[in-house]
Amino acid sequence: MNLSKSRYTLGIRCKKLLWLSCFKSEEAEDLGNDSVFENGNKVGDLARSLFGEYTLINYDDNYKNMLDETTKYLNNKPNIICEASFSYDGNFCSVDILKNDFDGVEIYEVKSSTELKNIYVDDVSYQTWVLNKLGMNVKKSYVVYVNNKYVKEGDFDINKYFVIKEVTDKIDLASVEKRITELKEIINSKREPNIDLSEGCKRPYDCPFFKYCTKDLVKPNVFDIGWHVKFTKKLDMYYKGIISYKDVLDNGGFNEKANEQMKYELYNLPPKINKDRINTFLSQLTYPLYFLDFESYQDSIPVIDGTKPYQQICFQYSLHYYEKEGGELHHKEYLSG
Ligand code: SF4
């Protein structure tokens, strides 16, 4: 089986994640990342025009067609090629933006994120390694990501919208080569890697195989506790063999909310409703009383003047209100067109 840049970065995160993606992809949970992918595609498409005119190598299930197309355009120097595709010894990659000059090339990896993450450097390192092995002179490598300080005013300014960060100095080709050898062994083995849970299961992204990797743990277990306990603290308990709710509670538990959650689930207690607190809150309300509901959205690319990338923008509200006790219920609403 061959490696690609996405497989390489999966393997950097966790070797088991890479293996499961190749051989047991049906076990992956849908983590509801559709909007993330959609934003990624929009930002990627936009970035193509960052350096002016470009040639796009269209995606093809048959990678050979992409490689042949790329070879054709590589001779038209200087030019910009988007999704320029290369393969060396079973290692495939498509470069988001390739600046193809007479004395060498520059690689630009585009991300819809608003910060530079280490995993992006791994991604661009792999591409740099492939092109180097093919005898190309990679002059510089960059990660392009979204500037969350950019405020749209008038015409959209693509140069202010993107941050272009050179990462050439962060690339260690010897390490990349070593990792590629290790990862190839993983994807060419029939045996599922025996790898324990770690912080990498949640960082930099939630792993879609978490449910699969915890399927043999007693239920409910320390990972079923809600957000009131950090994942690293749950891992500490897990590594000590303190896994079931009962064991966690017997060993001092966590904070009050977490302990309460465990007791309620473990002993099937009735819902806890603090009527006194609710009554105290309600008794403090004074007229006029307003009941507001609203909807909002986020867009990676701002279209409204005065807004930034990923800003939460309200586009609809519904407001019911009483002006006085026993009075008439009024209603106002707004939906942006
Ligand atoms: S849940 Fe954790 S151990 Fe399992 S595949 Fe994902 S990252 Fe690896």
**Is the pLDDT confidence value at 206 over 90?**
yes
Pairing of strands 312-322, 138-146: unpaired
State the CB neighbour count (10 A cutoff) for residue 251.
Answer: 11
HEC profile of the chain = CCECHHHHHHHHHCHHHHHHHHHCHHHCCCCCCHHHHHHHHHHHHHHHHHHCCCEECCCCCCHHHHHHHHHHHHCCCCEEEEEEEEEECCEEEEEEEEEEECCEEEEEEECCCCCCCHHHHHHHHHHHHHHHHCCCCEEEEEEEEECCCCCCCCCCCHHHHEEEEECHHHCCHHHHHHHHHHHHHHHCCCCCCCCCCCHHHCCCCCCCCHHHHCCCCCCCEHHHCCCCCCHHHHHHHHHCCCCEHHHHHHCCCCCHHHHHHHHHHHCCCCCCCCHHHHHHHHHCCCCCEEEEEEEEEECCCCCCCCCCCCCEEEEEEEEEEECCCCCCEEEEEEECC
Average pLDDT of every residue of the chain: 95
The answer to whether residue 57 scores a pLDDT higher than 80 is: yes
Compute, in angstroms, the gap from residue 16 CA to the centroid of ligand 1. 6
228 CA to centre of ligand 1 in angstroms? 22
- Could you tell me which residues come within 8 angstroms of residue 310 by beta carbon, excluding any fewer than 6 positions away? 114, 146, 148, 298, 299, 300
Unique residue bearing structure tokens 């054709």: 72
Q: Does the pLDDT value for residue 34 go beyond 90?
A: no
Nearest C-alpha to atom 7 of ligand 1 is from which residue?
201
Instruction: Give the position, in ligand 1's atom list, of the atom nearest the Cα of 196.
Output: 3
Q: Give the percent of the chain with pLDDT over 70.
A: 100
> Does residue 14 have a pLDDT over 90?
yes
Ligand 1 site: residues with CB under 6 angstroms? 14, 16-17, 20, 195, 197, 200-201, 207, 209-210, 213
Show me where the domains of the chain are located: 5-187, 199-266, 280-335
Indicate which residue's Cα is closest to atom 2 of ligand 1: 201
CB 96 within 8 A of CB 108: yes
| Residue of 10, 14, 119, 235 with the most ligand 1 atoms within 8 Å of its CB, for mutation | 14
Distance 149 CA to ligand 1 centre (A): 34
Q: Which pLDDT score, from 0 to 100, does residue 337 have?
A: 76
pLDDT of residue 64: 95
What is the best residue among 206, 207, 223 to mutate for testing ligand 1's pocket, by most ligand atoms within 8 Å of CB? Answer: 207
Beta carbons within 10 angstroms of residue 6's beta carbon: 15
Work out which ligand 1 atom sits closest to the CA atom of 195. Answer: 3
Residues 242 and 253 sit within 8 Å (Cβ to Cβ): no
Ligand 1 centroid, distance to 31 Cα (angstroms): 14
Per-residue model confidence as pLDDT tens digits over 221-272: 999 999 889 999 999 999 999 999 999 999 999 999 999 999 999 999 998 8
Q: What is the pTM of this model?
A: 0.89
- Nearest ligand 1 atom to the CA of 15 is 8
Q: Are 221 and 241 in contact (CB under 8 A)?
A: no
What integer is the mean pLDDT of 146-171?
Answer: 97
Ligand 1 atom closest to Cα of 14? 8
The closest alpha carbon to 146, from 47, 34, 80, belongs to 47
pLDDT band at 33 (very low <50, low <70, confident <90, very high): confident
Give distance in angstroms: CA of 54 to centre of ligand 1.
39
Two structure tokens written together for 272 = 């806890």
Of 224, 194, 226, 198, which is closest to residue 211 (Cα–Cα)?
Answer: 224
Q: What is the pLDDT of residue 40?
A: 87
Contact 51, 80 (CB under 8 A): yes
For residue 32, pLDDT beyond 80: no
Fold topology of 5-187: Lambda Exonuclease; Chain A (3.90.320)
**What is the per-residue pLDDT for 39?**
84
Pocket test for ligand 1, best of 209, 212, 235 (most atoms within 8 A of CB): 209
Contact by Cβ (8 Å): 95, 143: no
Half-sphere exposure of 312 (CA within 13 A, CB side): 3
Give yes or no for a contact between 24 and 16, defined as CB atoms under 8 angstroms apart. no
